[in-house]
Amino acid sequence: MATDLVSQLADSLAKTGVEEAELSYKGQGRKLDDAQSVEEIVKEIQDFEGLQALRLEGNTVGVQAAQAIAKALETKSQFKRCYWSDMFTGRLRSEIPPALNSLGDALMLAGARLTVLDLSDNAFGPDGVKGIENLLRSTACYTLLELRLNNCGMGIGGGKILSASLIHCHKKSSADGAPLSLKVFVAGRNRLENDGATALAQAFKLMGSLEEVHMPQNGINHPGVTALASAMQHNSNLRIINLNDNTFTEKGALAMAQALRHLSSVQVINFGDCLVRPAGALAIADTVSEGLPILKELNLSFGEITEEAALAVARAVKDKDQLQKLDLNGNCLGEGGCESLKELMEEMNKVDLLGSVSDDEGEPEDNDDEDEDDEEEEDEEEELDEEEEMGDEEEEEEEEEEDDDEVADNKFSTPTSAPQTPDVSSFLSFPSPDKLVKLGEKRALLIQQQVDVTDAARTAEAFLKIASVYKDESNSVKEVVLETIDSLLKSAFSSPAVQGFGFVSSLLVLLGLLKSENKVKPVLLVPGHLHALEHVVRQDYFPKDSLAVLQAFMSRENQALESCVGLRKSLQSTLQRVMSES
């Protein structure tokens, strides 16, 4: 009979979604627009004594619904964990900050002490970070252990706001005798780039408590990587470092190798697709061989590593008794190098721990001159990034003068160098409005000299980079963007090699709306892409037989488009009108 009672209790808990003081509506796909739509949820929150966690993932919450839920949370003083990822699907970006502000204000009013804040997969951009800024600075986050903001499109601006908020929180909590001790930080796919990463590095260095850092796919190159490496040295309990798909090059890899010498607790290193190159791999191998006693996983895949460096990495893990996986796939070992690697791992009785090398790129050609050119370009990009950072910091300082605490936080700012003249390669590598404008009146011609307009895929890629810097609030930038795009596409479509469908299909693949047989990483959709596309389809040069294809894909349900619902509808309307006119 006791067993039956236990089973009934378990069933009851499962039905209500309650576990360990947790109320869950995870993955229910509810469309919660107003107070009436959340009456049931609100009542269950109100009736739940000692509520500690609320799961809203996989639903879509509007402003009024968020305000009603927030009202119910105002009395939940024991609340600790917010699992609020993917809860704004289909919402306008302008709806998200007020919704987040309402929820944050409620938690502060309740006197909650959070340990987990998960807002991943919400694509809310810098404004979304502003929506949680007050919460992050408040006493509610003095106890925060996990902050998860994966795939939120924060950008450089959002990264700087986040950093300033964490620094403020640490300073205030330290004054109260219990400094913020964040352990898990997740912010992959956020377009943080060098400036955002450098700003966050300041917060990481100050806290010194991190155990996991996940920042893959952020467009960070060696200046940002070097800043992160310096900060990580101060986080002696780090166990997991995931910087996959950023661009270290030798400079960043050497800095990270040096940082790892101070981190004996590291278990997982993911530097895959980071272009660490042979010199970087050798430096990391040297660090691994001399330390990291409990290393479990090492990923240096797709890094242009040659046979000699790969073998050095393999020898470095010889005495790592806890090793579970070594990934050196997609490098430049050649067939003989791959065999040598397997033989070495077999000699060490670790061949089962070696990942596949089926995507090896083959032995590299002798490209010393090209490597030198790459290094020169990287130096130029660093100088240009610093110039842009100086401009961004001036704007940021003007905003921060309104807050005395933020002015104090500015002492963590990174000094910048004297302005340099931007070039096309710098813009195409790291697009910004300022770089495009400073290319001058011949910018369109300069870009076409760098981009093969007879190649539909390269033309589509260039279009997205130019469109990404579109600013609706700046007429001058808007005009420059559209003029440059017009010139690029006129040249492309005048070439017999570029058919309208080829351009459109490449564009859809890059936006993640169409699957490709090749491995193509989709770009993060930003409003500028749809603004520019709406302009383009109205122009005489755009192939009219491609309009229907675009319309069909814009009409399909796709998560990639959900962050720009209003612009998507506007584009659909324009496409329909242009098709009817033609």
Mind spelling out the 3-state secondary structure of 280-308?
HHHHHHHHHHHCCCCCCEEECCCCCCEHH
Grade residue 517 by pLDDT with cuts at 50, 70 and 90: low
pLDDT of residue 429: 82
Is the per-residue pLDDT at 43 higher than 80?
Answer: yes
Phi, psi of 81 (to 5 degrees): -125, 125
Beta-bridged to residue 342, according to DSSP, are: none
pLDDT in tens, 119-158: 999 888 899 999 999 999 999 999 999 999 999 989 999 9
pLDDT of residue 412: 38
Most confident option among 107-116, 497-506, 572-581: 107-116
Tokens 């070439």, located at residue: 495
Q: Which ranges of 233-351 does DSSP label H, i.e. alpha helix?
A: 249-260, 277-290, 307-316, 334-347
Q: What average pLDDT score do residues 102-124 get?
A: 94
Is the per-residue pLDDT at 391 higher than 90?
Answer: no
pLDDT of residue 396: 44
Q: Other CB atoms closer than 10 Å to residue 24's CB: what's the count?
A: 16
Contact 210, 238 (CB under 8 A): yes
CA gap 104, 70 in Å, rounded: 8
Most confident option among 473-482, 489-498, 499-508: 473-482
Comparing 15-19, 109-113, 374-378, the range with the smallest average pLDDT is 15-19
pLDDT in tens, 195-212: 999 999 999 999 999 999
The pTM for the full model equals 0.64
Is the per-residue pLDDT at 498 higher than 80?
Answer: no
pLDDT in tens, 153-181: 899 999 999 999 999 999 999 999 999 99
Comparing 85-89, 309-313, 398-402, the range with the smallest average pLDDT is 398-402
Provide, rounded to the nearest whole percent, the portion of the chain with pLDDT above 90.
52
**Average of per-residue pLDDT values in the chain:** 84
CA atoms within 13 A on the CB side of 337: 25
pLDDT of residue 553: 79
* Integer-rounded Cα radius of gyration of the chain: 26
User: Can you say whether the dihedral through the CA atoms of 529, 532, 538, 540 is positive or negative?
Assistant: negative
Look at residues 563, 565, 469 and name the one whose alpha carbon lies nearest to residue 151: 563
Provide, rounded to the nearest whole percent, the portion of the chain with pLDDT above 70.
85
DSSP tag of 151:
T
Grade residue 15 by pLDDT with cuts at 50, 70 and 90: very low
Is the per-residue pLDDT at 81 higher than 90?
Answer: yes
Is the per-residue pLDDT at 282 higher than 80?
Answer: yes
Grade residue 497 by pLDDT with cuts at 50, 70 and 90: low
Q: What average pLDDT score do residues 211-225 get?
A: 94
pLDDT of residue 9: 40
Grade residue 13 by pLDDT with cuts at 50, 70 and 90: very low
Which of helix, strand or coil describes residue 538? coil
Instruction: Give burial (CB, 10 Å; 0-12/13-18/19+) of 92.
Output: middle
Higher pLDDT, 556 or 125: 125
pLDDT in tens, 518-547: 666 778 888 889 898 999 889 988 888 778
Q: What average pLDDT score do residues 248-271 get?
A: 92
pLDDT of residue 372: 46
Q: What average pLDDT score do residues 206-226 get?
A: 95
